Amino acid sequence: MTIELPNRVGEAPHVVGPAPHGQRSQVAPVMLQEELWSRMRALPYVFMAPTLVSVPHSRALHLPEGIGSRDPAAFQGGREFAHVHPHSDSSLHLMVEQELMDVVERSGWGVRHPAQPPVLVYGPRDRQELEVVWWLVQQSWQYAMTLGS
| Domain containing residue 70: CATH number | 3.90.1150.30
For residue 10, being part of any structural domain is answered with no
Q: What is the DSSP letter of 142?
A: H
For residue 148, the model assigns a pLDDT of: 57
Give the DSSP H or E segment for 93. Answer: strand 92-94
Kindly report, residue by residue over 15-67, the tens digit of the pLDDT.
Answer: 999 989 999 999 999 999 999 999 999 999 999 999 999 998 999 999 999 99
Q: How many CB atoms lie within 10 A of CB 109?
A: 23
For residue 50, being part of any structural domain is answered with yes
For residue 98, being part of any structural domain is answered with yes
Four-CA torsion 90, 96, 99, 101, nearest 10 degrees: 20
Q: pLDDT at residue 147 above 90?
A: no
Total-model pTM: 0.95
Q: What is the DSSP letter of 49?
A: E
Q: pLDDT at residue 149 above 70?
A: no
Kindly report, residue by residue over 113-144, the tens digit of the pLDDT.
Answer: 999 999 999 999 999 999 999 999 999 999 99
Number of domains in the chain: 1
Coil vs helix vs strand at 91: coil
Q: What is the mean pLDDT of the chain?
A: 94
- Residue 46 belongs to domain spanning: 26-145
For residue 34, being part of any structural domain is answered with yes
